[in-house]
Structure 1
Amino acid sequence: MRFIIEHEIKGRMRIHAGSNKMTYEQADTLLYYLHNLKNVIYAKVYDRTGGAAISYVGSRDDMIRALKDFHYEKVVVPPSVLENSGRELNTKYQEKLINKVLFHYGRKLFLPYPLRVCYTGIKSIKYIYEGIKSLSKGKVEVSVLDATAIGVSVLRSDIETAGSIMFLLGIGELLEEWTHKKSVGDLARSMALNIDKVWLVRNSQEILVPSTEIEAEDKVLVHMGNVVPFDGEVFAGEAMVNQASLTGESVPVRKCKDSYVYAGTVIEEGGLTITVKETKNTTKFQKIVTMIEESEKLKSALESKAAHLADKLVPYTLGGTALTYLLTRNVTKALAILMVDFSCALKLCMPISVLSAIREASLYNITVKGGKYLEAIADADTIVFDKTGTLTKAQPTVINVVSFNGDSPDELLRMAACMEEHFPHSMAKAVVNAARERNLEHEEMHSKVDYIVAHGISTFIGDKKAIIGSHHFVFEDESCELPQGTEEKFRNLPEEQSHLYLAIDNKLAGVICIEDPLREEAEGIINSLKKAGINKIVMMTGDNERTAASIAKMVGVDEYYSEVLPEDKAKYIEKEKAEGKKVIMVGDGINDSPALSAADVGIAISDGAEIAREIADIIIGEDNLFGVVTLKLLSDSLMKRISKNYRFIVGFNSGLIALGAGGVLQPATSALLHNTSTLAVSVRSMSNLLE
């Protein structure tokens, strides 16, 4: 790409991309390319001017070389990025806002007074109609107040006041609609499917292929704990499918041959082979948008309280207006009160504050699925962490493979990887990655694989039963034995490492030793959460007592529990909630799903199991455990902002009412100050909480 550097300081440059304007697609393509450069830490592309601002680390020459290598036609951008970028939405609302302001003041300057009267009268019909419609339903809401204020102004021939009220109301509605659509769009995009590879069934073989290669009528296998990647019809298998993201059903639905399944639903038990009917995920995106817009999850208790309070205050405002007129017989004073109310600001500012906080969270690679979860985090006093993949690194590493049956370590690792590659867990990924690094390729050599949550995997290789999993699963549940003469070798396995046990025909075949190092930031995160107001921090793990005690001591949690099952985590959380605690759960695996669902707020790691991400209320980046601290600070700041907005709205508008009743302010001035203050608070509520 040919470009001009317009401005530059160390680590930052602003460029012009060689044309005065970009299309939305070109701008999104360039932004996608920049975001995927390892040395770029921030980028923004301006489609209207054909420019870009880039912050980077490392060599300036490398940055310039990367920009020179860029060509629009050579960059492969996922269709969902282009279809759902939100760039067009932002441009559309910016233009609407500018046009509204220009038209309002242009009309005042250039339109003759008689035409302005006609225009204002016609426009007022919409607001008056809404007020009458509300009254006809027996409700005295904000629309009644707006209709009364505008109607009285028109009847008094105070066209300027009526026009100003409608203009400011229109601006407020536009800002709220823009913020809402943008926040919902950002949330929906972050929830939309991002499945890179799927299991294609071809000639009785399971082949892992890029999802982009799948076509209609292909057969795709989906294992337990995974998200269904495409809409389709069940060809074989039986499963319990969680459809909550699309239908709101709290109970999984049984699916079997000839049933229809939808992209984005999650298999909780069993497995399905699906005949693909729809390969595009735009329908899934639209379903998510609809679900979010209709869901009460977006509303926090404070939002709902503000909306109800706003409607309840309307009769008092109308009553105050009538009382002032009865006492003073002064229409101007009465109208000055009518022009001011608390409800408009309360209804507008609270949702904008919450939606803006959700948008801000996305800047930190955090997906928040609803405003009420931010409120719950602000109130939380207890947090429960899973260990593996959460407090420890998301990418454990295979250190050694110890053979107990005479097979080579590579052969044992190849066999283990063949079994483990079907299931999403950090330990499984470690085995699969180790096999890949050693170039241990394999064809599918086993029959159907059964995954036992929090225990392990069972299958048949030929006519031999093969299992892999925890010590409890292999030696207690499956009653496997050590080969004769290997007792000493077994006792000398390194204690500081986690172990996966592979057994064939009830005899231990090998032990895979895995290093599961603690995240460097784990201790700092625990300390930061304590300073932020979390009173009790707990670690729960299925690992053994020795490992759990060591990790707990290093990170400084208040309590820890070892060798727990998924239901144990959920029971502990339910017990804490019954004692009046507000509980956050942080996890990443299939076995964390019950606890994530039971908690007041479930937080999943983005690199974890798909079912955990689906069930969780909030998702944080895989390398961003500090996101939990960020969420706490963001939530606390949001509650402070809402409280501050509430005090300002009540105080300022009370002052306007008093000045209006005293005859100090004219109705037009009261309306102007009231609506301007509402817009000012709304705009301020759209600003970032964390600077």
Structure 2
Amino acid sequence: MSRLLVFARRYPLVAATVLVGLLGLALGIFGQADAVRWLFSGFGIVAALVSSVGMVRQLVRGSFGVDLLAIIAIVATILVGEYVATLLIVLMLSGGAALEDYAAGRAARELDALLKRAPQIAHRLDPDSGEATDVPATEVRVGDLLLVRPSEIVPVDGQLQSDTAAFDESSLTGESLPVERSVGDPVLSGSINGQIAATLMATATAANSQYQHIIALVEEASSSKAPVVRLADRYAVPFTVGALTLAGLAWALSNDPVRFAEVLVVATPCPLLLAAPVAFMGGMSRAARNGIIVKGAGVLEALSRAKTVVFDKTGTLTYGTPAISEVRPEAGFSADELLTLAASAEQYSSHVLAASVLGAAHERGLALHTADSASEAATFGVEARFAPGTVRVGKLSFINDGAADATATHLAGGELAMYVAVDGRFAGSIVASDRVRDNARQSVADLARLGVRENLMLTGDARATALHVAGQVGIVHVRADCLPSDKVDAVRALTRRPVIMVGDGVNDAPVLAVADVGIAMGAKGSTAASESADVVILLDDISRTVRAVRIGQDTVRVALQSIWLGIALSVVLMVIAAFGLIPATAGAISQEVVDLITILNALRAIGGRRDAVRARRASVGGASAPLETSERADRPVLPTVDRPV
């Protein structure tokens, strides 16, 4: 019952139409034909007036929809006494709008998650006693000393007062590795402190800090986004003009006004009102089965026409977490021996890279040593004493204090090295990097085959790292060192539209909102990015971006086929009705048959059979098998930086 009440409140015209229909049926059973006629006709007038208000508002905004023809048909059937046809037209008009609203999912709230995640509490330190007092982040003033505990979000922009600290800025800048700061360095609000408590001095209020700046960017981007034009509305003007012209000719040539109503009844644009919403609902259902949440019918249409795709780097094209990519032993140590010693020492470290070293050791099945003693120099390294000797793991400068022969190892873009010394002797290095996703290159190529041939990477990471990743995945255009506002400006400047933006972090929220279609990698990405996006991929799989585009193209193709099928059948019926061969009530029933055919065809957008066929082909060809297409992928091109696109 509660669901029925919710439905009635959300779609009052649909609920009222069904209620009036049931009441009319009851009156008809008791032989009250006149009462039924007055009930249906009066309700039709009210429905026409309500729809007229919405139609006028659309016209004021410069949009011409299919509602006009339906309103004229309602009035015409009332005037000629075909009140059953009146109710059927109202039901199709209100039901189509309800379906479209349901498919559009208009309840998306881009800013909610950002506001919820925004730091709410700050620990303000008393300069005399050093005691921390919890205060709302909005009450922090410039110059206040703040304590940021381990794993807490930095509440406002500040300047580090502690000697050293490490912060996770991946959701703000895209840098996947922890950023180490020294005393006096700036710290951004929204970044996450490491495992050591840090003290900072506020340099901005909450309202003027980086995180709030991102919120403002999202709000501005969302409000500036152009409204989506309904697919059916593009055919509204010619269909309406054609139907009114044919109905007018039928009236003029026959001198019978009933002929005008008869033509308009079969010309009621129910195929236009129903075909696209039903197809888009099917497409959205199909997307959900594939782990893709699409927030609106217009999103599927934009996906089908996309020409450009923009990628964030960290967490999107890459996995977003540092992993051990290579062990480089020195001085007679084997790779397993070096990794065993390093992992044994890193057991006693709180650094984020310690988990990567331990994970690599566990993957190789290495047995770790228990330390007699261990100590950590925060953000520099750890030293532990074992039976095999004293092991130091950390930065090169930390290792050089005890092993002067330690030398820097060669690093490629996006790599970071940890150095190891044993009993004052350089033992080697361990290289960590944020690995490119296994199917990232194939996904970029598949998007090109689907028509999304222009690509661009936007990242806050360093240029060398960005170029290295772009070369691995086949992306042509690269812009590095980007702030959130830079990404917004870059996407707005793109000319080949619609533009898809794929990202996952808080820093991607504004650009996801301003893109024609924002796609958030929601499996491990931020809630802010997911709420700002038009599409959320629930699985940690970038190839779902390709699947989303394919589903959009399939859905629009089925919707257009259904629209044209409905129009063709309606035109045939209109011509027959123009000669007086179809009475209005029979025309309304005939129109229902057309609607049924249109709906059944539109339901093909659910696409269960197509997905099953593709799943079987993928199981034979492998998970990263290319798209089934005769079109060859473009030849790989070396990436460029800051090339106009």
TM-based fold match above 0.5: yes
Q: Is 1:534 matched with 2:421?
A: no
Q: Is 1:584 matched with 2:500?
A: yes
Among 212, 229, 235, the residue aligned to 1:267: 212
Task: Tell me how far apart the structure 2 counterparts of residues 176 and 399 of structure 1 sit (CA, whole Å).
Answer: 54
Structure 1 pair 355/365, CA: closer, same or farther in 2 (3 Å)? same
Deviation at 1:586, TM superposition (A): 2.4
Task: Tell me how far apart the structure 2 counterparts of residues 266 and 381 of structure 1 sit (CA, whole Å).
Answer: 31
Q: Is 1:662 matched with 2:579?
A: yes
Deviation at 1:310, TM superposition (A): 2.4
Q: Is 1:300 matched with 2:228?
A: yes
Alignment correspondent of 1:498: 415
Q: Secondary structure at the match of 1:608?
A: coil
Among 286, 303, 317, the residue aligned to 1:391: 317
The 5 A counterparts of 1:83-482 are: 89=6, 105-130=25-50, 145-156=69-80, 158=81, 161-174=82-95, 176-177=97-98, 180-181=101-102, 183-184=104-105, 187=108, 201=122, 204=132, 205-206=147-148, 221=155, 256=205, 267-268=212-213, 300-301=228-229, 303=230, 306-307=232-233, 309-310=235-236, 313-314=239-240, 317-341=243-267, 343-351=269-277, 353-354=279-280, 357-358=283-284, 360-397=286-323, 417=351
Query: What amino acid is aligned across from residue 522 of structure 1 in structure 2?
Result: A
The 5 A counterparts of 1:518-557 are: 518-537=436-455, 542=461, 549=468, 552-553=471-472, 555=473, 557=474
Query: Does the CA contact (< 8 Å) of 1:381 and 1:582 recur in 2?
Result: yes
Query: Does the CA contact (< 8 Å) of 1:584 and 1:602 recur in 2?
Result: yes
Query: Does the CA contact (< 8 Å) of 1:605 and 1:621 recur in 2?
Result: yes
Task: Tell me how far apart the structure 1 counterparts of residues 470 and 515 of structure 2 sit (CA, whole Å).
Answer: 23
Structure 1 pair 144/527, CA: closer, same or farther in 2 (3 Å)? closer
Alignment correspondent of 1:514: 432
Q: What is the TM-score when the length of structure 2 is the normalising length?
A: 0.58
Query: What amino acid is aligned across from residue 501 of structure 2 in structure 1?
Result: M
Query: What amino acid is aligned across from residue 325 of structure 1 in structure 2?
Result: W
Q: Secondary structure at the match of 2:105?
A: helix
Query: Does the CA contact (< 8 Å) of 1:540 and 1:569 recur in 2?
Result: no
Task: Tell me how far apart the structure 1 counterparts of residues 27 and 601 of structure 2 sit (CA, whole Å).
Answer: 28
* Greater radius of gyration (CA): 2
Deviation at 1:495, TM superposition (A): 5.6
Structure 1 pair 534/308, CA: closer, same or farther in 2 (3 Å)? closer
Structure 1 pair 164/372, CA: closer, same or farther in 2 (3 Å)? closer
Structure 1 pair 429/632, CA: closer, same or farther in 2 (3 Å)? farther
Task: Tell me how far apart the structure 1 counterparts of residues 214 and 95 of structure 2 sit (CA, whole Å).
Answer: 45
Query: What amino acid is aligned across from residue 42 of structure 2 in structure 1?
Result: I
Structure 1 pair 558/393, CA: closer, same or farther in 2 (3 Å)? closer
Structure 1 pair 136/609, CA: closer, same or farther in 2 (3 Å)? closer
Q: Is 1:629 matched with 2:518?
A: no
Task: Tell me how far apart the structure 1 counterparts of residues 466 and 71 of structure 2 sit (CA, whole Å).
Answer: 68
Query: Does the CA contact (< 8 Å) of 1:266 and 1:611 recur in 2?
Result: no
Among 614, 623, 639, the residue aligned to 2:556: 639
Alignment correspondent of 2:480: 564
Structure 1 pair 174/512, CA: closer, same or farther in 2 (3 Å)? farther
Query: What amino acid is aligned across from residue 212 of structure 2 in structure 1?
Result: I
Query: Does the CA contact (< 8 Å) of 1:239 and 1:268 recur in 2?
Result: no
Deviation at 1:647, TM superposition (A): 1.4
Structure 1 pair 378/117, CA: closer, same or farther in 2 (3 Å)? closer
Alignment correspondent of 1:690: 607
Structure 1 pair 500/641, CA: closer, same or farther in 2 (3 Å)? farther
- Greater relative CO, 1 or 2 (CA 8 Å, sep 6+): 2
Task: Tell me how far apart the structure 2 counterparts of residues 148 and 636 of structure 1 sit (CA, whole Å).
Answer: 34
The more displaced of 563-572 and 578-587 is: 563-572
Task: Tell me how far apart the structure 2 counterparts of residues 101 and 119 of structure 1 sit (CA, whole Å).
Answer: 9
Structure 1 pair 370/488, CA: closer, same or farther in 2 (3 Å)? farther
Alignment correspondent of 1:72: none
Query: Does the CA contact (< 8 Å) of 1:198 and 1:221 recur in 2?
Result: yes
Task: Tell me how far apart the structure 2 counterparts of residues 105 and 621 of structure 1 sit (CA, whole Å).
Answer: 47
Query: What amino acid is aligned across from residue 630 of structure 1 in structure 2?
Result: R
Task: Tell me how far apart the structure 2 counterparts of residues 390 and 584 of structure 1 sit (CA, whole Å).
Answer: 13
Task: Tell me how far apart the structure 1 counterparts of residues 528 and 585 of structure 2 sit (CA, whole Å).
Answer: 56
Deviation at 1:636, TM superposition (A): 0.6
Query: Does the CA contact (< 8 Å) of 1:498 and 1:514 recur in 2?
Result: yes
Deviation at 1:327, TM superposition (A): 1.6
Q: Secondary structure at the match of 1:624?
A: coil
What whole-Å deviation, never above 9, does each CA across 1:553-600 have from its counterpart, x for those lacking one? 4x5x25375x93226996899499656465433233456567656754
Query: What amino acid is aligned across from residue 452 of structure 2 in structure 1?
Result: I
Q: Is 1:608 matched with 2:528?
A: no
Deviation at 1:514, TM superposition (A): 2.5
Task: Give the alignment's Cα RMSD to 1 decimal.
Answer: 6.0
Task: Tell me how far apart the structure 2 counterparts of residues 199 and 576 of structure 1 sit (CA, whole Å).
Answer: 32
Query: Does the CA contact (< 8 Å) of 1:385 and 1:586 recur in 2?
Result: yes
Query: What amino acid is aligned across from residue 519 of structure 2 in structure 1?
Result: I
What whole-Å deviation, never above 9, does each CA across 1:376-416 have from its counterpart, x for those lacking one? 332233434344322332443367999xxxxx999999887
Query: Does the CA contact (< 8 Å) of 1:313 and 1:342 recur in 2?
Result: no
Task: Tell me how far apart the structure 1 counterparts of residues 55 and 467 of structure 2 sit (CA, whole Å).
Answer: 63
Alignment correspondent of 1:47: none
Structure 1 pair 260/495, CA: closer, same or farther in 2 (3 Å)? closer
Structure 1 pair 536/312, CA: closer, same or farther in 2 (3 Å)? closer
Q: What is the TM-score when the length of structure 1 is the normalising length?
A: 0.54
Deviation at 1:659, TM superposition (A): 0.5
Return 5+ residue gaps in structure 1 as ranges. Answer: 1-22, 25-85, 211-218, 228-236, 242-253, 272-287, 403-407, 421-426, 440-444, 447-456, 459-473, 503-509
Deviation at 1:637, TM superposition (A): 1.2
Deviation at 1:638, TM superposition (A): 2.3
Task: Tell me how far apart the structure 2 counterparts of residues 684 and 100 of structure 1 sit (CA, whole Å).
Answer: 29
Deviation at 1:627, TM superposition (A): 1.5
Query: What amino acid is aligned across from residue 323 of structure 2 in structure 1?
Result: T
Deviation at 1:365, TM superposition (A): 3.4
Task: Tell me how far apart the structure 2 counterparts of residues 627 and 511 of structure 1 sit (CA, whole Å).
Answer: 37
Q: Secondary structure at the match of 2:406?
A: helix
Query: Does the CA contact (< 8 Å) of 1:200 and 1:209 recur in 2?
Result: no
Query: Does the CA contact (< 8 Å) of 1:548 and 1:560 recur in 2?
Result: no
Deviation at 1:669, TM superposition (A): 1.9
Structure 1 pair 409/355, CA: closer, same or farther in 2 (3 Å)? same
What whole-Å deviation, never above 9, does each CA across 1:489-542 have from its counterpart, x for those lacking one? 34336769821789xxxxxxx998424344343344344334433335556664
Query: What amino acid is aligned across from residue 38 of structure 2 in structure 1?
Result: C
Structure 1 pair 194/428, CA: closer, same or farther in 2 (3 Å)? farther
Deviation at 1:483, TM superposition (A): 5.6
Task: Tell me how far apart the structure 2 counterparts of residues 681 and 297 of structure 1 sit (CA, whole Å).
Answer: 32
Task: Tell me how far apart the structure 1 counterparts of residues 469 and 68 of structure 2 sit (CA, whole Å).
Answer: 64
Structure 1 pair 187/686, CA: closer, same or farther in 2 (3 Å)? farther
Structure 1 pair 260/178, CA: closer, same or farther in 2 (3 Å)? farther
Structure 1 pair 311/116, CA: closer, same or farther in 2 (3 Å)? same
Query: What amino acid is aligned across from residue 434 of structure 2 in structure 1?
Result: D
Task: Tell me how far apart the structure 1 counterparts of residues 541 and 51 of structure 2 sit (CA, whole Å).
Answer: 49
